[in-house]
């Protein structure tokens, strides 16, 4: 990185450190932080969409759809989320391959499950066997994103379902009295009003989502946990220019500090948003705000 | 091999008792049920002891956070912030490597590098921080009349805390604390995926479920079994906490006694 880094063996102290922290592998680790942020940026809206669909389904007047929505919300309560993460990554992968298998190789005779193997025809493999490395990585990442979206979508569905029920009944009755049908009442009255009730739950969910990002490691993505383990391990002089003892403790201390800062910043920002949204609302918090101002 | 033999071989496998080798081919449903159930021993062990010990630290932390003295308040606030603000997964990794280097310096710490002690310590601090925050919230919402009545009766110091503040705090915090207990049991599944080694393949329920899913390449059997066990565990936890809730509210007239609503928020 720097010009004086050409011969690391002669360096000491601060210079050694600045060269060490800018090696190619460390750069990959900093990119992995970007991966985490990208995951959050994609998952948050996707989970919200899943949650909205789930909550709407749970309120549906069509019974099977309602059961499906309620089951989707209920099932995540009793079961550890890590189990879902491990389950969905394999299950989704196999589901996609199976669907492609049925479309691309309709005249395939043998069963897909043969003992302990899951066999699909070559054309149905995802990604294709001859695909470049980055396709494999992107596919793995997309599976992880989808898994996160499904699991956190169920959490969000629970929050939104509660928020929809918290909207005062009188508002909906008024809408009906004005002659709106179910759909109009839902989109024009219920949905705009529910966000204030949903925000505390959603901000809590955002914190939980941040704290769940290290689980990417379990899904086989090369994330910051992977790099911290990789880079922190003891390095022998014959294999690297920067030998050091076992520093994994310090790498994980750095990750801990990173997450603490991240959650702290989120907390401050979310508090501001909440303060702005409660401004002028007829809730206890809004009343307190009004009293404090006068 | 009948199912009873499998149970005899593997029921205590997670504790290292019984057959040494895990099944490698021809996996039966019975084997999966037995081994995953055997792994639940670890989940219950971690959850139970972390909750029982963490409860006392949580009370202390909540009192510390509510104190006026900054020497008590600041450490309690930082303790809660650090354990609630960072992922449990990273805490496990960090603690494991700290214990590893401690062990290098002082052999006295060597039990902490194995899961039964090391992970328990982390879970103990973690649940103490989360429940400490819950108890702190409950302390803040104790009705003013209760403490005024205690003052009027001339109670002070320890007896005021023991007879008035503490029971009221518990009563107010209990629904949220039930939720925390459920989540703690769920969090115990992380232990064997985060650095702490499962020596001789003695792991928890998720460890074995993952083992079967990897070997059979079929996630649709072991994970639902695991889910069933956890739903059962959750129901038992809710049942026990409901009994305690009834005892906490026993002085109230029957119609004002609230039964514990099984409405666990999914958010810790």
| pLDDT tens by residue, B114-157 | 889 999 999 999 999 999 999 999 998 888 888 899 999 998 88
Nearest to A154 by CA among B265, B260, B176: B265
If you count residue pairs, one on A and one on B, with CB atoms under 8 Å apart, how many are there?
125
If DSSP codes are grouped into helix, strand and coil, which group holds residue B227? helix
**Token representation of residue A114:** 């043969």
Q: Please check whether residue B92 is in contact with residue B190, taking contact to mean a CB–CB distance below 8 angstroms.
A: yes
**Token representation of residue A55:** 């909550």
With cut-offs at 50, 70 and 90, classify the pLDDT of residue B264: very low
* Averaged pLDDT of chain A: 84
Residue B262 lies in a domain: no
- Dihedral (CA of B152, B157, B159, B164) sign: positive
Res B41: pLDDT: 93
Largest Cα–Cα distance in chain B?
A: 73
In A238-276, which positions are buried (b, 16+ CB within 10 angstroms) versus exposed (e)? Answer: eeeebebeebbbebbbbbbeebbebbeebeeebeeeeee
Taking the CA of residue A233 and the nearest CA in chain B, the distance in Å comes to 10
- Who has greater pLDDT, A292 or B138? B138
CB proximity list for B218: less than 8 A, separation 6 or greater: A113, A116, A118
**Would you say residue A12 has pLDDT above 60?**
yes
Please indicate whether, in this complex, the C-beta atoms of B217 and A116 are within 8 angstroms of each other: yes
The minimal CB distance from A259 to the residues B86, B182, B189 is found for B86
Chain A contact for B266, CB < 8 A?
yes
The minimal CB distance from A260 to the residues B82, B101, B219 is found for B82
Instruction: Kindly identify which residue of chain B lies nearest to residue A209, measuring between CA atoms.
Output: B87
Instruction: Kindly identify which residue of chain A lies nearest to residue B210, measuring between CA atoms.
Output: A86
Question: What stretch of H or E contains A3?
Answer: none
Chain A contact for B193, CB < 8 A?
yes
- Dihedral (CA of B51, B55, B61, B62) sign: positive
**Integer Cα distance of B150 and B145 in angstroms:** 9
Taking the CA of residue B136 and the nearest CA in chain A, the distance in Å comes to 18
Chain B contact for A87, CB < 8 A?
yes
* CA distances in angstroms from A32 to A27, A69, A98, B93, B222, listed in the order given: 9, 35, 31, 18, 32
Q: Please check whether residue A195 is in contact with residue A281, taking contact to mean a CB–CB distance below 8 angstroms.
A: no
Q: Please check whether residue A88 is in contact with residue A151, taking contact to mean a CB–CB distance below 8 angstroms.
A: yes
CATH number, domain containing residue B16: 1.10.3720.10
Residue B87 lies in a domain: yes
**Integer Cα distance of B102 and B96 in angstroms:** 10
Instruction: Kindly identify which residue of chain B lies nearest to residue A203, measuring between CA atoms.
Output: B267
Q: Please check whether residue B121 is in contact with residue B112, taking contact to mean a CB–CB distance below 8 angstroms.
A: yes
- Dihedral (CA of B121, B123, B129, B134) sign: negative
pLDDT, tens digit, 9 for 90 and up, residues B183-236: 899 999 999 988 888 888 888 999 999 999 888 888 889 999 999 999 899 889
**Token representation of residue A241:** 């220019």
If DSSP codes are grouped into helix, strand and coil, which group holds residue A118? strand
CB proximity list for A122: less than 8 A, separation 6 or greater: A129
Q: How many domains does chain B have?
A: 1
A interface test, pick of B25, B92, B97, B235 with most A CB neighbours within 10 Å: B97
- Who has greater pLDDT, A87 or A128? A87
A interface test, pick of B87, B105, B181, B265 with most A CB neighbours within 10 Å: B87
How does DSSP assign A79-96, residue by residue? S-HHHHHHHHHHHHHHHH
- Chain Cα centroid distance, residue A162: 22
Residue B59 lies in a domain: yes
**Token representation of residue A196:** 């204030």
B window 98-127, beta carbon within 8 A of A: 98, 100-101
pLDDT, tens digit, 9 for 90 and up, residues A224-268: 888 888 888 888 777 777 778 888 889 999 999 999 999 999 999
**Integer Cα distance of A261 and B154 in angstroms:** 46
The minimal CB distance from A256 to the residues B90, B101, B190 is found for B90
**Integer Cα distance of B4 and B6 in angstroms:** 5
Nearest to A156 by CA among A148, A145, A168, A167: A148
Q: What is the CATH number of domain A28-227?
A: 1.10.3720.10
**Would you say residue B240 has pLDDT above 90?**
yes
CB proximity list for B66: less than 8 A, separation 6 or greater: B73, B136, B139, B140
Q: What percent of chain A has pLDDT over 70?
A: 95
- Chain Cα centroid distance, residue B254: 31
**Integer Cα distance of B1 and B9 in angstroms:** 11
Q: What percent of chain B has pLDDT over 70?
A: 94
CB proximity list for A282: less than 8 A, separation 6 or greater: none
**Token representation of residue A52:** 């909205």
Q: What percent of chain B has pLDDT over 90?
A: 53
Domain ranges of chain A: 28-227
**Integer Cα distance of A126 and A98 in angstroms:** 10
Residue B261 lies in a domain: no
Q: What is the pTM of this model?
A: 0.88
Q: What is the span of the domain harbouring residue B196?
A: 3-256
Taking the CA of residue B248 and the nearest CA in chain A, the distance in Å comes to 25
Q: Please check whether residue B16 is in contact with residue B198, taking contact to mean a CB–CB distance below 8 angstroms.
A: no
* Angle, CA of B158, B160 and B165, to the nearest 5°: 110
**Integer Cα distance of B150 and A27 in angstroms:** 62
Res B261: pLDDT: 60
**Integer Cα distance of A72 and B247 in angstroms:** 34
């Amino acid at each position: 990185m720097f010009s004086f880094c050409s011969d690391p063996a002669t360096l000491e102290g601060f210079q050694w450190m600045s060269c060490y922290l800018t090696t190619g592998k460390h750069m990959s680790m900093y990119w992995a932080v970007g991966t985490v942020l990208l995951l959050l940026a994609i998952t948050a809206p996707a989970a919200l969409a899943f949650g909205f669909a789930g909550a709407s389904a749970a309120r549906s007047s069509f019974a099977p759809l309602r059961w499906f929505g309620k089951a989707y919300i209920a099932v995540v309560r009793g079961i550890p989320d890590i189990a879902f993460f491990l389950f969905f990554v394999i299950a989704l992968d196999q589901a996609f391959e199976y669907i492609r298998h049925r479309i691309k190789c309709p005249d395939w005779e043998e069963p897909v499950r043969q003992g302990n193997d899951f066999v699909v025809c070559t054309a149905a493999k995802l990604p294709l066997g001859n695909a470049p490395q980055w396709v494999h990585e992107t596919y793995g990442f997309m599976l992880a994103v989808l898994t996160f979206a499904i699991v956190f979508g169920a959490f969000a569905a629970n929050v939104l379902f509660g928020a929809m029920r918290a909207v005062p009944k009188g508002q909906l009755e008024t809408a009906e009295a004005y002659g709106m049908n179910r759909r109009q009442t839902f989109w024009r009255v219920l949905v705009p009003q529910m966000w204030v009730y949903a925000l505390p739950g959603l901000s809590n969910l955002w914190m939980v989502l941040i704290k769940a990002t290290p689980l990417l490691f379990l899904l086989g993505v090369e994330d910051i946990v992977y790099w911290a383990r990789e880079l922190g391990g003891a390095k022998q002089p014959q294999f690297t220019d920067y030998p050091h003892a076992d520093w994994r403790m310090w790498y994980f201390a750095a990750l801990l500090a990173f997450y603490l800062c991240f959650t702290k910043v989120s907390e401050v920002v979310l508090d501001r948003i909440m303060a702005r949204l409660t401004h002028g609302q007829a809730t206890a918090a809004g009343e307190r705000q009004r009293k404090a101002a006068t | 091999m009948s199912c009873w033999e499998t149970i005899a071989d593997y029921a205590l496998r997670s504790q290292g008792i019984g057959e040494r080798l895990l099944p490698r081919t021809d996996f039966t449903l019975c084997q999966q049920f037995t081994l995953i159930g055997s792994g639940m021993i670890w989940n219950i062990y971690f959850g139970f002891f972390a909750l029982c010990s963490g409860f006392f630290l949580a009370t202390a932390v909540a009192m510390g956070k509510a104190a006026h003295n900054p020497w008590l308040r600041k450490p309690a606030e930082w303790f809660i912030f650090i354990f609630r603000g960072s992922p449990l997964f990273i805490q496990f990794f960090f603690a494991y490597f700290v214990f590893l280097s401690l062990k290098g310096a002082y052999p006295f710490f060597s039990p902490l590098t194995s899961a039964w002690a090391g992970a328990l310590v982390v879970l103990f601090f973690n649940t103490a921080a989360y429940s400490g925050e819950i108890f702190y919230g409950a302390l803040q919402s104790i009705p003013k009349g209760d403490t005024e009545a205690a003052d009027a009766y001339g109670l002070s110091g320890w007896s005021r805390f023991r007879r008035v503040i503490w029971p009221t705090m518990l009563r107010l915090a209990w629904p949220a604390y039930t939720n925390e207990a459920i989540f703690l049991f769920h969090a115990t599944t992380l232990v064997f995926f985060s650095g702490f080694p499962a020596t001789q393949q003695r792991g928890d329920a998720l460890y074995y479920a993952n083992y079967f899913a990897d070997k059979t390449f079929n996630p649709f059997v072991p994970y639902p079994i695991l889910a069933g066990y956890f739903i059962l565990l959750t129901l038992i936890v809710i049942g026990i906490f409901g009994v305690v809730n009834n005892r906490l509210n026993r002085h109230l007239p029957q119609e004002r006694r609230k039964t514990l609503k099984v409405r666990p928020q999914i958010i810790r």
